[in-house]
Structure 1
Amino acid sequence: MADLDQTHARPDGATDEDVAATGKLSEMLERIERARGALYEFHQLMGGADAMLDDVVDTLRAGGHREWAERISRELVGRNAIEGRWSFQIVEEFDDSYYGPLKDTERALREDLVGGRRHVFEAEMKAERRTHGHSAHSATP
């Protein structure tokens, strides 16, 4: 397609199937990026919530409720989010066991099938859907 910049143009030899497969894997990665963001949000919310327990314990102690303060301190302060893991460990395990290999595989597939180019599928869709000659539909900046 003549109106695509070299960064997004389909390289010679790349088939429709190559572009579709790399595009779909990239779309899947984008969803995992969002899931990863939610996981980091979980991590930060857990840390902040755990820190709030210090105020609960201090307030209970100040109010003469030593038994409750001790119970909450013993049972909840610093508790694992899941067995054996705080939230930072969950994030690290996800990054190491799933996210990292996915990123590496997606990059390798793009390198092999479409010369490492990103968003080839979307760039071709833009070229097909834009109104040629319309100022808000320019091919490139």
Structure 2
Amino acid sequence: MTRREDGPDRDHQRPDGVSGLTVEALGSLSKALETVERARGHLYGFHQLTGTADLELDRAVRLLRAAGHDGWADRVEMDILGRNVIPGHWTFQIVEAYDRTYYEPFRSLERQVVGELAAGRQHLYEAEMKEARRTPHHPDHIARPDEPTSGDDAPDPDPDPA
């Protein structure tokens, strides 16, 4: 990768001696971790939705009783309210087990690999992709948030080819 003065900040530049294949591998590892982050978010959504449903059952039981359906209220209360979602587990226990068994070891290993192979510099693959796709002097293609835009050098957004 050719480094330009207006290119990525030091934290997003490939350290000397790091190969393109290593950067690609780290990008793939990062993408896998991002997918795990999304899965974890869905797991928390499952946890919260299940908890919300369980709390709503209190209202359903109260309304069934008020409507004179004590038998059904008893069944909901005994058979569903507070029930394990899998044997011996409420959703918080599933979240904790996922974090402890899978998420935290994955996240820790990814940090170790990036630390060892890329001097702790994250998102090198994405930073190089951004650099390759930027249009020089375009105000919406600046390399860094602290880089001033230069509207005078920007291409006409609707050039007339005629």
RMSD of aligned C-alpha atoms? 0.9
Structure 1 unaligned segments of length 5 or more: list them. Answer: none
1:42 equivalenced with 2:67 (yes/no): no
Equivalent AA in structure 1 for residue 83 of structure 2: R
For residues 1-141 of structure 1, the aligned pairs below 5 Å read 1-2=3-4, 3-141=7-145
Relative contact order, CA 8 A, sep 6+: which one is greater? Answer: 1
Structure 2 unaligned segments of length 5 or more: list them. Answer: 146-162
Q: Please report how far the alpha carbon of residue 58 of structure 1 lies from its aligned counterpart in structure 2 after TM superposition.
A: 1.0
User: How many equivalent pairs are there?
Assistant: 141
Q: Please report how far the alpha carbon of residue 4 of structure 1 lies from its aligned counterpart in structure 2 after TM superposition.
A: 2.1
Q: Please report how far the alpha carbon of residue 135 of structure 1 lies from its aligned counterpart in structure 2 after TM superposition.
A: 1.3
* Matched-pair identity in %: 50
Q: Please report how far the alpha carbon of residue 41 of structure 1 lies from its aligned counterpart in structure 2 after TM superposition.
A: 0.6
**Structure 1 runs (4+) greater than 4 angstroms displaced:** none
When you count helix as a share of all residues, which structure comes out higher? 1
Q: Provide Cα deviations, 1:9-66, integer angstroms capped at 9, x if missing partner.
A: 0011111111111111001111111111111011000001001111111111122211
Q: TM-score, normalised by structure 1?
A: 0.96
Q: TM-score, normalised by structure 2?
A: 0.84
Q: Please report how far the alpha carbon of residue 134 of structure 1 lies from its aligned counterpart in structure 2 after TM superposition.
A: 1.3
